[in-house]
């Protein structure tokens, strides 16, 4: 920070990506003030105050990093019902079950502030610096331009390509994400029983599924097949 401060005093131009974010008048006044103060010998008290401000900003940045990470609530869904890995990771090694939802109405006609969107698998992390800067600026009373009004949504959609096998979709809240969480009553249309689910659990779930009118399916491995993909069959066709 002290090196950058000295460069500004010596006439260094503020980078364009910074000028695009902060108000021009604010930056001009900041640079003018630094250059004016540099004409006299630095005051120890001024340097102490400067250090305190920097440390306080660091604390606030860390605070908002945590806040942003916790505020983006979403529900996760997957297309990969036949994935052995997914059943192993998320359904107690095939002893659990999966619910299916018809998401087409929400995808084609979003409900209020709720949107359903596919996860973006990228080897490059989404840069949420401007989102963090705008939240920080709002908190300390400095207006910061939002260069991308969709940044809060995008920050909830990016994942490493290592997770691409999940074929994930996310239900997210597109309005007031920092203050609210998504809530939507949306009933499942079907249930899939894991290949190793216990008889008692299957019986209990079958009773519930029958009462709710859910289509029922069971997962199994075709031992006569050469591939590892899970197979699906209606519960009644044993």
Burial class (CB in 10 A: 0-12, 13-18, 19+), 75: middle
Beta bridge partners of 100: 190
34-55 pLDDT, tens digit each: 566 555 555 545 545 555 555 5
Query: Which strands, in side-by-side order, build the sheet including 168-173?
Result: 74-78, 168-173, 114-118
Residues 6+ apart with CB under 8 A from 135: 64, 67, 68, 178
H-run or E-run covering 191: strand 190-193
**In the prediction, which pLDDT does 108 show?**
80
**In the prediction, which pLDDT does 97 show?**
97
Beta bridge partners of 99: 191
- State how far the Cα of 186 lies from the Cα of 163, in Å rounded to an integer: 26
Give 3-state DSSP helix, strand, coil % of the chain, rounded to 5. 45, 15, 40
117-132 pLDDT, tens digit each: 899 999 998 887 777 6
**In the prediction, which pLDDT does 62 show?**
59
Regions of the chain where pLDDT drops below 70: 1-72, 110-112, 132, 135-144, 149, 174-184, 237-238
pTM: 0.66
**100 closest CA partner among 195, 199, 192:** 192
**In the prediction, which pLDDT does 1 show?**
45
8-33 pLDDT, tens digit each: 556 666 666 556 655 566 566 656 66
**In the prediction, which pLDDT does 238 show?**
46
- State how far the Cα of 185 lies from the Cα of 38, in Å rounded to an integer: 61
DSSP at 82: T
Structure tokens at 75: 């529900």
Query: How many residues in total does the chain contain?
Result: 238
């Amino acid at each position: 920070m002290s090196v950058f401060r000295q460069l500004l005093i010596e006439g260094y131009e503020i980078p364009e990506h910074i000028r695009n974010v902060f108000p021009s008048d604010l930056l001009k006044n900041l640079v003018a003030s630094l250059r004016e103060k540099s004409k006299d010998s630095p005051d120890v008290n001024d340097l102490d105050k400067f250090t305190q401000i920097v440390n306080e900003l660091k604390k606030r940045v860390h605070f908002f990093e945590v806040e942003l990470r916790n505020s983006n609530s979403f529900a996760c869904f997957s297309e990969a019902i036949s994935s052995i890995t997914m059943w192993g990771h998320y359904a107690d090694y095939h002893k659990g079950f999966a619910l299916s939802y018809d998401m087409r109405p929400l995808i084609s006609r979003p409900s209020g502030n709720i949107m359903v969107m596919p996860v973006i698998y990228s080897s490059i992390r989404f840069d949420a610096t401007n989102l963090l800067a705008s939240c920080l600026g709002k908190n300390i009373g400095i207006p910061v331009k939002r260069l991308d009004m969709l940044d809060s949504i995008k920050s909830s959609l990016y994942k490493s390509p290592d997770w691409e096998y999940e074929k994930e979709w996310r239900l997210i809240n597109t309005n007031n994400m920092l203050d609210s969480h998504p809530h939507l009553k949306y009933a499942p249309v079907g249930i899939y029983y894991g290949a190793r689910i216990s008889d008692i659990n299957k019986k209990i779930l079958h009773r519930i599924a029958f009462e709710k009118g859910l289509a029922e399916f069971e997962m199994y491995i075709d031992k006569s097949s050469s591939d590892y993909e899970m197979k699906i069959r209606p519960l009644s066709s044993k």
